[in-house]
Chain A
Amino acid sequence: MANVVDLLFATGKHDDPALLIGQRTVSFAELRDAVAKAARSVLEASAPGDRIAILADNGLEFVAAYLGIMASERIALPMPVAAEVDQVRGWEARFGVRAAFCDDRRGKTLAAAGVARLTPAQTGAFERHDTEPHTPAAIMLTSGSTGEAKGVVVSHGNLAANTGDIADYLALTPRDRCMVVLPFSYCFGLSLLHTHLARGASLVLNNAFLFVERVLDEIVTTQCTTLAGVPATYQLLLRRSTFLERKLTTLRALQQAGGRLPRESILEITRALPWARFFVMYGQTEATARLSYLPPERLADKLGSIGRGLASTGLEVLREDGSPIAPGSEEVGEVVASGPAIALGYWDDPEESARYFRAGRLFTGDLARVDADGFVFLVDRARDFLKVMGVRISPSEIEAVIAGMPEIAEVAVVGVADEESGEAVLAAVVPVGDRGCDPEAVRDYCNARLPNVKVPKHVVVVDALPRTANGKIAKQVLRRLSS
């Protein structure tokens, strides 16, 4: 089988644009050249299978390094750009990092962490490699249940399979252009890179999503056809930008993954941009990136569902005894996935690997039910459930109720230790605008709509919800709010 990097360059035409970064356009030929130069320095400084880290914003440095490392059959380890020196040092030790590429802004961090810095060679010729599908290509960091990052080992075969499936259902062509605001250190961000390059499409890299109007301007000027975001991305677009008012008619596909976006938000978007297809997707780093998607034509009748498995992904919802749950019932089981995109396991962690990866299958820890048509509806992450007075409670049910309060912009519910009831419900709420909000009013509102065990014992008003680098809500941080 070909090295995954060869597959990513198989379609893009020589002079066609691959990356648009600010004023600069990088053609496929230029990108290949940059990859070859990075690969040359990798080959000189390391041996096959060595881990080479990348600490860089989305940009040419990142992409050249990432693809150069994989092309050389070394293992790429993208690190979040916000990483502190101690974290970089920790990952270096944990994954035995040989050296790292970085952009100019992160040179100091890398030096302080004592990691050798690689720079692309002056020259380099692109070489094709026959790479076994099981060869590790990258280690993707993901937050584990304990909050400490785990390294998911993804193979060349994993990347090739998942990329092909995603590019197929998005029907990407060389005419497509993606606005990328998600970091490439996150598997969702990287999947945008893989899928668009593989189909000869281009990507606009914009690292300043905080200036959201500029991002929208750039969608217009560069005529982006696709946009991808996590729920926080879309919430920001909906509440703090002119996204809905602008007629962004070039956008034909919107991708959303990385958590649950409320139905109302999805409807607001699809009503305002009826020409764009909205893809609700579900995935895990442990499955390379994507596991399922909801076909946009089923959005109306299956809203709230994560859809069905990708073409080469087997997606089942199983009871504890391993038998499938009854479709069309209220029964809940664990989402279990199989297929060529299931990652090799966690780096140097046989115990955790054995817990989630069993006989080629990924036990996701996510709980779901299945309707009569085979569409999967996530209930919650198993580890997010809380137990109050022995009753298993889904935080999303409580979140949905509180989200119905007009004065609340955002909410997250977690369980906190409680002497009386084992665990107690804590709701962190962000009020709309500067109006503030009375915690007692939130409790009363819930009390009128939920059984007593689900009524939050603690309501904490915050300015913003704490989020991880990937935009997910940092529930670990929220759990500390009760004290």
Chain B
Amino acid sequence: MITARLARIFAKAFALDPSEFNHGILHGDLKKWDSIGHMAMVAAMEKEFKVEFDVDEIMEMQSVAEIIVVLTRKGVTD
């Protein structure tokens, strides 16, 4: 389940309690989601979903909703 996998990544990268994870989270909502945290999240997603992101995609993922859009486009649906 993509949501559960993302919740785990957010827990690791941003120290976010998985129960607080939701699709409405925006970059800026989480203190730990800064430029360094963003790169940690990207690295964790590449590992988890076995994909690679290009620079535009990395810039595009400014919210959980956008992350799911990018992942879906790359064929990750589960």
Chain A residues in the interface with B (C-beta under 8 A): 389, 444, 447-449, 451-453
Contacts and interface: CB of A to CB of B under 8 A. Distances in A.
Contacts of A451: 31-32, 34
Nearest to B38: A452
Contact of B40 (A389, A448, A449, A452): A452
A451 B40 CA distance: 13
Nearest to A447: B15
Contacts of B32: 447, 451-452
A361 to B, nearest CB: 40
A389 B15 contact: no
18 contacts: A389-B36, A444-B12, A444-B15, A447-B12, A447-B13, A447-B15, A447-B32, A448-B15, A449-B15, A451-B31, A451-B32, A451-B34, A452-B32, A452-B34, A452-B36, A452-B37, A452-B40, A453-B36
B27 to A, nearest CB: 14
Given A447-B13, A452-B34, A452-B36, 4 more contacts: A447-B32, A451-B31, A451-B32, A452-B40
Interface centre among A447, A451, A453 (most CB of B within 10 A): A447
Contacts of A447: 12-13, 15, 32
A72 to B, nearest CB: 61
Interface residues of B, number: 9
A179 B31 CA distance: 51
A135 B28 CA distance: 64
A451 B34 CA distance: 9
Nearest to B31: A451
A152 B12 CA distance: 49
Contacts of A444: 12, 15
A448 B40 CA distance: 14
A452 B32 CA distance: 6
Contacts of A453: 36
Contacts of A449: 15
A452 B40 CA distance: 9
Task: Give the 8 A-B CB pairs with smallest separation, nearest first.
Answer: A448-B15, A452-B36, A452-B37, A447-B15, A452-B34, A452-B32, A453-B36, A444-B12
A58 to B, nearest CB: 49
Interface string B1-15: 000000000001101
Contacts of B12: 444, 447
Contacts of B34: 451-452
Interface centre among A389, A448, A449 (most CB of B within 10 A): A448
A415 to B, nearest CB: 16
A388 to B, nearest CB: 9
Nearest to A440: B12
A453 B37 CA distance: 9
A281 B37 CA distance: 40
A389 B36 CA distance: 10
Contacts of B13: 447
A454 to B, nearest CB: 10
Contacts of B15: 444, 447-449
A449 B31 CA distance: 11
A444 B34 CA distance: 17
Interface in B37-65: 37, 40
A320 B37 CA distance: 33
A2 B4 CA distance: 79
A330 to B, nearest CB: 20
A457 to B, nearest CB: 10
Interface centre among A444, A448, A451, A452 (most CB of B within 10 A): A452
A475 B77 CA distance: 48
A453 B34 CA distance: 10
Interface centre among B15, B37, B40 (most CB of A within 10 A): B15
Nearest to B36: A452
B36 to A, nearest CB: 4
B20 to A, nearest CB: 13
A42 to B, nearest CB: 61
A383 to B, nearest CB: 25
B19 to A, nearest CB: 15
A427 B13 CA distance: 19
Nearest to B33: A452
